[in-house]
A and B are shown apart, each in its own frame.
Chain A
Amino acid sequence: MTRIGPPPKMRTMNKPSAATAHGAIDPAFRRAMRRQTRSRIVRMRELYLLFLIPLALLATFKYVPMVGVMVAFKDYSPRAGILGSPWNDFWHFRFLFSTPQFLELIVNTFRISLLKFVFGFPAPIAFALILNELTNRRFKRMVQSISYLPHFLSWVVLGAIFKVLFSVERGPINAAILALGGEPIYFLAEPDWFLFSVVITHVWKSIGWGSIIFLASITSIDPGLYDAADVDGANRLQKVAHVTLPAMVPVITIMLILTVQNLNQAGFDQIYHLYNPLVFSVADIFETYVYRVGLVDRQYDFGAAVNLFQNVVAVLFVLIANTLARRYSDYALW
């Protein structure tokens, strides 16, 4: 029968003392600790076995592709495979940096990402504040539940829905515009309107779910603070400004850090399902470019290079965001 549980002798044995007279680690202690560790490894070996399946999956589907990234530095030939293909001296990167499209990709990616941030970051906060002011609890919960709904739908579905909604032939929105005497708007075909549509649909989808964490922080505010504000004669607006908002600063800061880290991602899912060649000039971002050129056009090596470039930029963003956060606020991810 396998011995399970700490060997009885170990429990009663005195722990060897760590320090010798000179302050160095007693070699006898080290040996004893290593023996203890080794016996634990043997004892808990089944746990390592259990981890083997997840480990194999991780190694295969997460770590091997990490190594496979080297295809970005090679001239890939399907016959030779990734390992057999020749190194190409950063050619893909030199090519990427020299095409005019590179600048356009950067501008598009950051423009969309910043627009979404400027409108999409405050929106859930404002929504949480306003939602909090609702007095009827059942109505409030109903609004909340309804507001989360778009979060659970994929952009495939939402893209299809919005293509119908924004359509110039059958869309109810253009119908309403016409009824009010206006001209039909090509929401998804005109570059400026496209940006508008991207931001609006993004806010629509994320405002409900995004407000959860802010609402949670609001509900954890000590009611005594509000009573004190009442005593000082504050009206509702002042209470929000001087009690609610300051109490939300920690949560807002953390969410800010988390969001800023992703500023180089403009949202592939959404863009891919809303864009079309007419708006490539504003809508083509890194990820859509990588998809089209790298996968559809089968330039796997070049696509991987562009993707790698974007990921490196993302890591830089994370590092910068965290360093700034640590220096200028009390909150950071590590």
Chain B
Amino acid sequence: MTVRRGVGSRAFDGVNVLCMAAFCLTVLYPFWNLILVSLEGIGEVKALRFKFTNTDWSASAYRYLLFDSLVLRSYRNTILRTVVGTVLGVFVCSLAAYTVSKRELPGRGVLTAILIVTLFFSGGFIPTFLLIRSLGLYNTFWALVLPGLVNAFNVIIIRNFFMAIDPAVEESALIDGATYLRILVSIIMPLSMPVLATVTLWTAVGIWNEWFEALIFVSGNDWIVLQEFIRRMMAEVFDKRERAVVDRFNDEFGRRIQRDNVQAAVIIITIGPIVLLYPFLQRYFVRGIMVGSLKA
């Protein structure tokens, strides 16, 4: 069928494209600005202007990041927390999901209710904080990982997928004498790769970005994570320490970086992994909500 587009219609198309392009620029420009600031060189004029490009480039700020041990520690902690939290979290959620996916399991309704209640009700972060303290988990690695392991939302999504798997596969394995755990790990989970991939991604990004629990469950410098480092940076808690370290760096390497260069560089390395992996993994995220919402 031929589509006759009148002048008004085509004008709208043109304006639409322009508006969408402008919108894309508003999304991308802040990051470009940040990249520019992080790569400013000594000769860069620091004035109030719209930055399109730098006059003087230098990677000193990134060199500084390798010099500041607190940044390195934050990065290490964040990676550790994300990997452990995601692997354990997805596995634990799968355990729960597998159990409640069995329609003939007595008490299944009760178990599911126990899960769903946590979606709606919560004690709040203050009782949780007091609990962490009384358990002796305050300022430990596990305080960053354990509280968020079981996520009822993820359990439901995984459960729905498990329920859609042909029961014949399990039955034949059961007849062959396999244990449920074995079935889960060797049969069900490999079959559920799509949903597990999506949940893994969601969980990983969520943990990477998680800042509030990292703020209240730990303190000091042992278990600082990247988000908390940035937060302290922006809250200007770091002023004296930061200035001292930056000065030391500048003296030692003959550079002249300033605070805003460091800030920009830290933000770039924090969002770097997400932004770089994002184009490749994006469709899993999108597909994920569709699967999750349709099936639920």
Contact = CB atoms under 8 A, between A and B. Distances in A.
B17 A295 contact: no
Interface stretch (A16-24, A41-49, A191-199): A41-49
B130 A157 contact: no
A64 B27 contact: no
Interface in A163-180: 163-165, 168-172, 174-176, 178-179
A161 B16 contact: no
Interface residues of A, number: 90
A161 B260 CA distance: 11
B259 to A, nearest CB: 11
Interface string A117-152: 000000000000011011110010011011111101
Interface stretch (B43-51, B55-63, B192-200, B238-246): B43-51
A278 B164 CA distance: 54
A213 interface: yes
A47 B105 contact: yes
B96 A54 contact: yes
Contacts of B13: 133, 135
Interface in B73-125: 92-93, 95-96, 98-100, 102, 104-107, 111, 114-115, 118, 120-125
Nearest to A254: B293
A172 B264 CA distance: 15
A176 B52 CA distance: 12
Contact of B24 (A130, A147, A172, A175): A147
A71 interface: yes
B9 interface: yes
Contacts of B30: 161-162, 165
A295 B129 contact: yes
Nearest to A162: B30
Contact of A172 (B51, B114, B121): B51
Interface string B158-176: 0000000000000100110
Interface in A247-300: 269, 273, 290, 294-295, 300
A67 B123 CA distance: 7
Q: What class of interface size applies to chain B in its complex with A?
A: 35 or more
Nearest to A69: B123
A56 B275 CA distance: 36
Contacts of A147: 23-24, 27
Interface secondary structure of B, over-half rule: helix
Nearest to A290: B126
Interface stretch (A108-116, A301-309, A323-331): A301-309
A66 interface: yes
A281 B270 CA distance: 32
Task: Identify which of B12, B100, B125 gathers the most chain A CB atoms within 10 Å of its CB.
Answer: B125
B250 interface: no
B270 A149 contact: no
A148 B16 contact: no
A160 B123 contact: no
6 contacts: A4-B177, A62-B123, A64-B131, A67-B123, A149-B278, A212-B289
